[in-house]
């Protein structure tokens, strides 16, 4: 059974738009981040902010690549491969939106637009929408933690 190419096109275009928005913020941040500030690894610092947006951009690029492969395989009648690529593309994207946990607040306008676009797209599982809302509502960067021991205690208590 062939995949719906119209739907894949809609998803692909949205993923490309999110990727472009995140890349715009990445380039903006890269220009503002001098060599001295790159040594600062604190949450919300220039290095972590740049790393966070880079993670998010990469996640959108990977998902877009998988959607493009799914569309191509589907057009060629290779339905099994197309389905595999689409399933892989829909997996929770590593680095999105968790890259925002590293970023200084307020988040860049392009980053916020990209996050809202992906939240509202309906391509990934519903849990990504919740994660995006949490990341957008965070008043400050939360990763990496200032106190790793406390961070590990909180993670263990949440898991129980």
In this prediction, residues 53-74 reach a mean pLDDT of 97
Contacts for 74-80: CB closer than 8 Å, 24+ residues apart: 74/2, 74/3, 74/5, 74/8, 75/5, 77/2, 79/1, 79/2, 79/3
pTM for this model (two decimals): 0.88
11-50 pLDDT, tens per residue?
Answer: 999 999 999 999 999 999 988 877 656 667 788 988 899 9
116-156 pLDDT, tens per residue?
Answer: 999 999 999 999 999 999 999 999 998 887 777 887 888 78
**Structural domain for 64, as ranges:** 5-159
What does the pLDDT read at residue 64?
A: 98
Domains: count for the chain: 1
């Amino acid at each position: 059974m062939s995949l719906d190419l119209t739907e894949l096109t809609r998803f692909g275009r949205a993923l490309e738009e999110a990727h472009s928005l995140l890349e715009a913020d990445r380039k903006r941040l890269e220009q503002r981040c001098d060599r001295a500030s790159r040594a600062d690894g604190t949450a919300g610092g220039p290095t972590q902010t740049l790393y966070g947006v880079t993670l998010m951009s990469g996640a959108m690029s990977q998902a877009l690549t998988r959607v493009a492969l799914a569309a191509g395989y589907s057009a060629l009648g290779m339905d099994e491969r197309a389905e595999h690529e689409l399933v892989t593309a829909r997996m929770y994207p590593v680095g999105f939106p968790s890259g925002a946990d590293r970023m200084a607040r307020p988040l860049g306008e392009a980053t916020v637009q990209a996050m809202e676009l992906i939240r509202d797209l309906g391509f990934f599982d519903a849990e990504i929408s919740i994660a995006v809302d949490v990341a957008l509502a965070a008043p400050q960067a939360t990763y990496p933690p200032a106190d790793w021991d406390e961070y590990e205690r909180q993670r263990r208590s949440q898991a129980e």
